[in-house]
């Protein structure tokens, strides 16, 4: 099923053993404790690459296009995701504004663009610089991509504003809503350990 090369340490029992090169759709288990050592998804890296590329397109649309417009007594205000975070900053909620901006704009942007970069280098066997550093950054900040939390908070705020203002959703909102669905699919398809293994065995 697979040929043996190099070594791998079990994350559960720390047993050092041969690292297998798996066929697509197979997994390797620790010979000592039975824990999962590594896996090779059936779709290889094509599936996560397609999902991440789609996420990148939606991310750009969600951040560049108008998110929504508030109309209050003839006054109209259009905003984007970054604009919403900046509005919190102007309301003397600096810490919250920074957290919202980092978790809904900066970290997801780094995860998506960095993943596309890494996956492209592996897909086309390109030994481009910084891909190891990018993969390390992705693995560290992946839990902090919380666009779904931002979406939930924004919907709660809009419900409260619905009695005093007219809310007009922009194209950025549609892109953002789609991104909230596609982004978790993309991250769940991304096996960081498999990418490290592919990097280690790449020529």
What are the backbone angles phi and psi of residue 32, rounded to the nearest 5°? -95, -50
- Give me the pLDDT at residue 202, please: 62
Q: What string of pLDDT tens digits covers the 203 residues of the chain? A: 344 456 777 878 878 877 776 666 677 788 888 887 766 665 678 999 999 999 999 999 999 999 988 887 777 888 888 988 888 888 888 988 898 899 999 999 999 999 999 999 999 988 888 899 999 999 999 988 888 888 887 777 777 766 777 888 899 999 999 999 999 999 988 888 788 877 876 65
Q: What's the chain's Rg over C-alpha atoms?
A: 21
Domain regions of the chain by residue span: 1-40, 45-201
Say if CB 38 and CB 56 are below 8 A apart: no
The predicted structure's pLDDT at residue 24: 66
Element (H, E) at 144: none
Give residue 194's pLDDT.
81
For 38, the 3-state DSSP assignment is strand
CA 28 from chain centre, in angstroms, equals 26
Can you give the pLDDT at residue 40? 66
Per CATH, is 45-201 categorized as 1.20.140? Answer: yes
* The token pair that represents 63 in the structure block: 């951040």
Residue whose entry in the numeric block shows the structure tokens 């066929």: 23
- What pTM value is reported for the model? 0.79
Residue whose C-alpha is closest to residue 144's, from 117, 175, 113, 111: 111
């Amino acid at each position: 099923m697979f040929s043996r090369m190099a070594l791998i340490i079990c994350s559960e029992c720390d047993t050092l053993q041969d690292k297998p090169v798996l066929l697509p759709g197979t997994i390797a288990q620790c010979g000592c404790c039975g824990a999962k050592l590594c896996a090779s998804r059936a779709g290889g890296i094509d599936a996560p690459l397609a999902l991440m590329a789609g996420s990148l397109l939606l991310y750009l649309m969600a951040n560049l296009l108008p998110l929504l417009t508030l109309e209050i007594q003839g006054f109209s205000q259009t905003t984007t995701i970054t604009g919403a975070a900046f509005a919190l900053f102007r309301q003397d909620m600096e810490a919250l504004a920074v957290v919202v901006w980092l978790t809904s704009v900066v970290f997801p942007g780094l995860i998506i663009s960095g993943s596309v970069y890494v996956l492209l280098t592996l897909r086309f066997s390109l030994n481009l610089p910084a891909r190891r550093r990018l993969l390390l950054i992705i693995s560290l900040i992946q839990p902090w991509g919380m666009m779904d939390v931002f979406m939930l908070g924004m919907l709660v705020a809009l419900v409260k504003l619905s009695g005093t203002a007219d809310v007009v959703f922009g194209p950025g909102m549609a892109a953002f809503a789609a991104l909230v669905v596609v982004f978790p699919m993309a991250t769940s398809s991304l096996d960081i350990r498999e990418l490290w293994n592919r990097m280690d065995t790449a020529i």
